[in-house]
């Protein structure tokens, strides 16, 4: 699920204010913190931001997506860090379709 999926660059998106769920490190000598999975609070709810390939033909992707949906719909989903308005705007701009 990571072979053709680049991780999220946390700093440009304003997501470097908390620990990601799945963190990777950029290669030496840069060593920046990157992420494949991040959760943030948003209003009275929250959001899960995933950079992994969730191709549903892969059993591991089906399992992960089902687990994330179950988690997000349950009572345990209470992200510790809220998504800032600036980060929300950066995410919207980065994912906007042409």
Residue 40 to residues 18, 67, 83: CA-CA distances in angstroms? 9, 17, 5
Q: Are 52 and 61 spatial neighbours (Cβ–Cβ below 8 Å)?
A: yes
- Number of neighbours of residue 52 by Cβ within 10 angstroms: 18
**What global pTM score does this model have?**
0.85
Question: pLDDT tens digit string along 17-52?
Answer: 889 999 998 877 777 889 999 999 999 899 999 999
């Amino acid at each position: 699920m990571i072979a053709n999926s680049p991780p999220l660059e946390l700093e440009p998106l304003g997501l470097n204010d908390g620990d990601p769920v799945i963190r990777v490190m950029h290669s030496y000598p840069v060593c920046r913190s990157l992420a494949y999975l991040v959760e943030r609070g948003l209003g009275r709810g929250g959001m899960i931001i995933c950079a992994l390939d969730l191709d549903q033909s892969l059993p591991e992707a089906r399992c992960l997506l089902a687990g994330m949906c179950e988690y997000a719909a349950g009572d345990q989903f209470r992200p510790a860090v809220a998504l800032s308005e600036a980060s929300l705007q950066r995410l919207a701009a980065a994912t906007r379709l042409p």
